[in-house]
C-alpha cells in the first residue's frame, strides 16, 4: 500500500467573497479512534455554500475556510475500532454529523454540519467518524454520488414529510439540484409534477425528466393563479419551497389540507405570510433541514430501485473551484455543479 502523503491540496477562501479562493497546502488528517480517512474524488456545490461564503449565513467563521459539504470518495485508512468499513470502500459523508434518525437536536443542526462549522470537503483527504458515512448507490459514479448529501436528501425529505402518495400533485420551484431530485422522486412515487422556471429552455429539459406541467414565472408572475388553473382550481398537495420569499404564493397554490416544505431561501430570507391562506385551508408548513442518516440510506435504496440518475450541469476541476462557484451564483445551471480532479 502506498504511504499517505504528509500534506495535501485544498481550496480555501481567505475572505467572504467568491473572488478570494486560493489553493492551499494542508496537513493530511490522521483518523482517530472510530474514524475513517477518505480520499476525496468528487464534490458538489449547494446554494448553502454560496451563503457561507457571503459571510452572513454563519457569522463569525474563522478565515481561511475550506468550504463545501457534499463529497464522495474512498476509504484509505481506518482508525482504531472501526469494523463497518474496509480500505477501498466507496463512501459518502453525512452532512449533519450525529443525526442518525428521528428529529435532530439543536447541537446537531447548528454545530455538527460539514462545510462549516465543521471543515469542508474541498481538500484531498477528510477524516470523519465511521458512523458518519453511508455507502453510495452502486449505480452511481463518484461524481453523481457526491450530489446526494444535501440536494437529493432535502428533496426526498420534503416529499416524505409531505406524505407523498400516488396521485398527488407536487409543485417544484426552479431547476436546481433539490427540485430536479424532487421531480424524479415524485414521479417514481406516482405523482403529477408542476415545475417553475424563468427560462423556457430549462422547462423543456424538465419535461424530458418527467415534469407533467411547466410554468415560466417571468411570463406568469401570478404563477399561483396558473397553478390553480392547471389543477382545476384545487391546488397542489405538496410544495417544495426553495425560494423562501415566494412562500405567500406557494400557500395560495396549495390545496386544502396540503403541505409546504420550506427548504431554501434563494430569493430571500424573509416572507410575509397572510395567515388566512394557511389557517383557512389548513395548510401545514414545515422547515426541512436536509435529513437523517437513516433517511439517507432509505433514499439510496430508492435510487437503486428506480434507477434514478442525478442531473449534472457542469464539471469543474478542483483548481477551478472559484469558477464553479461563480457559475452556480449566475443561476445558469440546470442540475448540480460538481468538482473533480482532487
Query: Residue 90: in which H helix or E strand, if any?
Result: strand 90-93
Residue 124 CA to residue 297 CA, distance in Å, equals: 25
CB atoms within 10 A of CB 133: 27
**Are the C-beta atoms of 255 and 280 separated by less than 8 Å?**
no
Cα angle: 97, vertex 131, 300; to 5 degrees: 85
> Which residues touch 105 (CB under 8 Å, ≥6 apart)?
none
Residues 172 and 193 sit within 8 Å (Cβ to Cβ): yes
Calpha distance 143→316 (Å, rounded): 11
**183 touches 206 (CB < 8 A):** yes
Torsions phi, psi for 70 (to 5 deg): -110, 125
- Report pTM: 0.94
pLDDT in tens, the chain (342 residues): 678 999 999 999 999 988 888 899 999 999 999 999 999 999 999 999 998 988 877 778 889 999 999 999 999 999 999 999 999 999 999 999 999 999 877 766 656 899 988 999 999 999 999 999 999 999 999 999 999 999 999 999 999 999 999 999 999 999 999 999 999 999 999 999 999 999 999 999 999 999 999 999 999 999 999 999 999 999 999 999 997 788 999 999 999 999 999 997 665 666 677 777 778 788 999 999 899 999 999 999 999 999 999 999 999 999 999 999 999 999 999 999 999 999
Q: In sequence order, which residues have a C-beta less than 8 Å from that of residue 219 and are 6 or more positions away?
A: none
pLDDT at site 1: 63
Rounded Cα distance, 290 and 295, in Å:
10
Q: Return the C-alpha cell found at 120.
A: 469542508
Whether residue 79 contacts residue 32, with contact meaning beta carbons closer than 8 Å, is answered with yes
Closest-CA residue to 315 (of 63, 45, 96, 104): 45
pLDDT of residue 18: 86
Question: CB-hemisphere CA count at 13 Å for 114?
Answer: 29
User: Quick one: cell of 166?
Assistant: 400516488
Give the residues across from 254 on adjacent strands: 236
- Spatial CB neighbours of 91, under 8 Å, sequence gap ≥ 6: 36, 38, 72, 73, 74, 75, 85, 133, 134, 135, 136
End-to-end CA distance of the chain: give it in Å, rounded. 19
Do residues 94 and 121 lie in contact, with contact meaning Cβ atoms separated by under 8 Å? Answer: no
pLDDT at site 2:
73
Amino acid at each position: 500500500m502506498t504511504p499517505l502523503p504528509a500534506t495535501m491540496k485544498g481550496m480555501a477562501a481567505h475572505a467572504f467573497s467568491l473572488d478570494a479562493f486560493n489553493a492551499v497546502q494542508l496537513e493530511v488528517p490522521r483518523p482517530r479512534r472510530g474514524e475513517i480517512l477518505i480520499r476525496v474524488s468528487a464534490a458538489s456545490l449547494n446554494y448553502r455554500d454560496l451563503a457561507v461564503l457571503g459571510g452572513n449565513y454563519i457569522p463569525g467563521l474563522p478565515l481561511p475556510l475550506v468550504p463545501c459539504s457534499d463529497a464522495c470518495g474512498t476509504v484509505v485508512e481506518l482508525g482504531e475500532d472501526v469494523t463497518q468499513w474496509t480500505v477501498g470502500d466507496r463512501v459518502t459523508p453525512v452532512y449533519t454529523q450525529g443525526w442518525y434518525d428521528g428529529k435532530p437536536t439543536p447541537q446537531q443542526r447548528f454545530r455538527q454540519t460539514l462545510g462549516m462549522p465543521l471543515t469542508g470537503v474541498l481538500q484531498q483527504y477528510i477524516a470523519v467518524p465511521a458512523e458518519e458515512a453511508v455507502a453510495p448507490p452502486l449505480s452511481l459514479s463518484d461524481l453523481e454520488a457526491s450530489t446526494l448529501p444535501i440536494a437529493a436528501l432535502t428533496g426526498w425529505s420534503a416529499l416524505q414529510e409531505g406524505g407523498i402518495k400516488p396521485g398527488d400533485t407536487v409543485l417544484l420551484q426552479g431547476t436546481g439540484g433539490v427540485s430536479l431530485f424532487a421531480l424524479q422522486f415524485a414521479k417514481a412515487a406516482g405523482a403529477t409534477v408542476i415545475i417553475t422556471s424563468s427560462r423556457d429552455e430549462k422547462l423543456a429539459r424538465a419535461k424530458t425528466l418527467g415534469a407533467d406541467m411547466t410554468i415560466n414565472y417571468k411570463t406568469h408572475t401570478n404563477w399561483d393563479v396558473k397553478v390553480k388553473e392547471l389543477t382545476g382550481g384545487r391546488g397542489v398537495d405538496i410544495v417544495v419551497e426553495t425560494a423562501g420569499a415566494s412562500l405567500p404564493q406557494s400557500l395560495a397554490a396549495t390545496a386544502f389540507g396540503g403541505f409546504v416544505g420550506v427548504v431554501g431561501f434563494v430569493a430571500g430570507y424573509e416572507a410575509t405570510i397572510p395567515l388566512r391562506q394557511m389557517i383557512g385551508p389548513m395548510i401545514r408548513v414545515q422547515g426541512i433541514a436536509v435529513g437523517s442518516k437513516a433517511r439517507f440510506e432509505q433514499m439510496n435504496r430508492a435510487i437503486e430501485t428506480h434507477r434514478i440518475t442525478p442531473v449534472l450541469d457542469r464539471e469543474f476541476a478542483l483548481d477551478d473551484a472559484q469558477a464553479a462557484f461563480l457559475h452556480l451564483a449566475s443561476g445558469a445551471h440546470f442540475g448540480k455543479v460538481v468538482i473533480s480532479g482532487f
